[in-house]
Amino acid sequence: MQNQRRYWVHPLWLKKNKKYGTFNATKELNLYPERFKSFYRMSKECFNLLLDKVKDAITKKNTNWRVPVNAEERLLITLR
């Protein structure tokens, strides 16, 4: 017997901002714990622990020419 779907498209992906794309969904993913684990392939606690360990190494400086990608999004892109 198949599981019945709750919705056709998850609300997280309906309201995503097309200007920033998928990788700016980290704040919204925190609102949906069941999606967090499937998207990151790890629990929120494990992700935060990993982020704490590598944050200093992957954080870039702000310059006059650009605003860098923050460490959380940088780690997300690497994991994906």
> Cα separation of 77 and 11, whole Å?
22
> Cα separation of 57 and 28, whole Å?
25
> Cα separation of 18 and 21, whole Å?
5
pLDDT at 15: 61
Reported as a single tens digit per residue, the pLDDT across 40-69 is 888 888 989 999 999 999 999 988 888 888
pLDDT at 14 over 70: no
pLDDT at 1: 59
pLDDT at 50: 95
> Cα separation of 27 and 35, whole Å?
12
Q: With a threshold of 0.75, does the pTM exceed it? A: no
pLDDT at 76: 83
Please state the rounded mean pLDDT for residues 15-33.
62
**Cβ-proximal residues to 20 (8 Å cutoff; 6+ apart), any chain:** none
